[in-house]
Structure formats: structure tokens, C-alpha cells
């Protein structure tokens, strides 16, 4: 089973996170940032990863530390659960519609943490959630997962729809990338022999 559990405690957040790649999309989330909780539910559903998060953060300051630190923990858990990446497809991509929004997402489990993110979020907030934190979450996740991730908005007006498309697409993309390639079972998917 490809899984990981991360415990991370700082002066700003106290997080326990468990990730099961070969799951069924279940999520158990204790997070004081409601919009992020909703997005993580979507991510789990569309990735088919089982995700448990128990986070206590300094949300009286703002949501930044909680969002970024959950991204860090998810990235660390993902990297550990995937291991040496032997036998996986390595790449995944999706163009996902959410009503008027359309988002392209592509990932390479390259061992290199690179985020290329082009989103035009017209509203600074969705409810109480600062929309600039979407990129902070993705950056924290990408750096700690050691993956290359491209996220590009192709269309969209409604900020909620755009962000929702991002998290659904990210789930789909990672599900594809970690799937086992039956034609290359046991092989590292790189001419270098290591990722």
C-alpha cells in the first residue's frame, strides 16, 4: 500500500495528515478554513486518494499559515507515499470544465518542484477565503511533493468555479500520474534510471 502519515507542529499550526494513494476517495477533514476543506474533499474524490487532515491553526491571524502548511504536509505525504516511483505512469493531464470555467492541469512526477500557475481570479475572496491562497497552497504542495505542476485557466468568470476546477483537475492529474503502467511494471519511468 502506498501511504504516508505526516505530523507537523509549528508555532502557527498543528497538523496530522494521512494520505492513502490506493484509496477510494474518502476524506476526513478537520480544518478551520471552510473553503479549503471543501476543495480538499473534491481533491480526494477526484484523485481517489484517501485523505485525513486534522489541523489546528492560528486562523485568528488569517488563513495563510493553515493553507500553506496543509499544502506542505500534503506534498510531503505524497512524496513519501509514491516512493521511488517505480512502475508509475509519471505524467498526468486534464482539461476540466466547471460550468463556464475551464482549467488545464498537467503534472510530471519529475523529482523537481516547479509550479507554473496562470489564474485570473476576479474576486479577492470566496466567502472569507483569500483567493491568493490558492497559489500559496499549490506552491507549498508542489515544492514538497517534488513535482512539476502546470495550472492554467483557459476560461472562466466565477472565482469559485475556477478554483473548484483547479482542485478537481489536480486530483484527476495525480490519479493518472501515480497509476501503475502495466507495460513498464517495476521500471523507473526515466532514461536516467532515477526520479
Q: Is residue 136 part of a domain?
A: yes
Give a yes or no: residue 23 inside a domain. Answer: yes
| Residue at 138 is within a domain | yes
Angle value at C-alpha 12, between 59 and 162, nearest 5 degrees:
50
Please name every residue paired with 19 in a beta bridge, in sequence order, or none if there are none.
Answer: 4, 51
pTM for the structure as a whole = 0.96
All residue ranges of the chain with pLDDT < 50 are none
Residue 109 inside a domain? The answer is yes
The pLDDT tens digits for 115-143 are: 999 999 999 999 999 999 999 999 999 99
Burial letters 126-138, b for 16+ CB under 10 A, else e: beebbbebbbbbb
* pLDDT at 186 (0 to 100): 83
Is residue 70 situated within a structural domain?
A: yes
Cβ partners under 8 Å of residue 191, min gap 6: none
Residue 54 · residue 40 · CB < 8 Å: no
107 in a structural domain: yes
Domain that holds residue 159: 3-178
Residue 1: the pLDDT is 79
pLDDT at 184: 83
> Looking only at Cα atoms, what is the longest distance across the chain?
51
Q: What is the pLDDT, as a whole number, of residue 20? A: 98
* Residue among 63, 71, 37, 72 nearest 130 (CA): 63
Judge whether 188 lies within some domain.
Answer: no
Domain count, the chain: 1
CATH number of the domain residue 126 falls in: 3.30.230.40
Secondary structure of 123-168 in HEC code, one letter for each residue: CCEECCEECCHHHHHHHHHHHHHCCEEEEEEEECCCHHHHHHHHHH
Q: Is residue 186 part of a domain?
A: no
Amino acid at each position: 500500500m502506498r501511504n504516508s502519515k505526516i505530523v507537523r507542529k509549528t508555532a502557527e499550526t498543528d497538523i496530522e495528515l494521512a494520505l492513502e494513494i490506493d484509496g477510494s476517495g474518502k476524506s476526513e477533514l478537520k480544518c478551520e478554513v471552510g473553503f479549503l476543506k471543501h476543495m480538499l474533499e473534491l481533491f480526494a474524490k477526484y484523485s481517489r486518494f484517501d485523505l485525513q487532515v486534522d489541523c489546528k491553526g492560528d486562523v485568528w491571524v488569517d488563513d495563510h499559515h493553515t493553507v500553506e502548511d496543509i499544502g506542505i504536509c500534503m506534498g510531503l505525504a505524497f512524496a513519501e507515499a509514491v516512493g521511488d516511483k517505480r512502475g508509475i505512469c509519471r505524467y498526468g493531464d486534464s482539461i476540466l470544465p466547471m460550468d463556464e470555467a475551464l482549467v488545464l492541469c498537467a503534472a510530471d512526477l519529475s523529482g523537481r518542484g516547479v509550479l507554473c500557475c496562470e489564474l485570473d481570479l476576479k474576486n479577492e475572496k470566496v466567502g472569507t477565503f483569500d483567493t491568493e491562497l490558492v497559489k500559496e497552497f499549490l506552491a507549498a504542495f508542489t515544492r514538497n511533493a517534488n513535482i512539476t505542476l502546470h495550472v492554467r485557466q483557459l476560461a472562466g468568470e466565477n472565482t469559485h468555479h475556477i478554483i473548484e476546477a483547479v482542485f478537481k483537475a489536480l486530483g484527476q492529474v495525480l490519479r493518472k500520474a501515480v497509476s501503475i503502467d502495466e507495460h513498464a511494471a517495476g521500471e523507473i519511468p526515466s532514461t536516467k534510471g532515477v526520479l
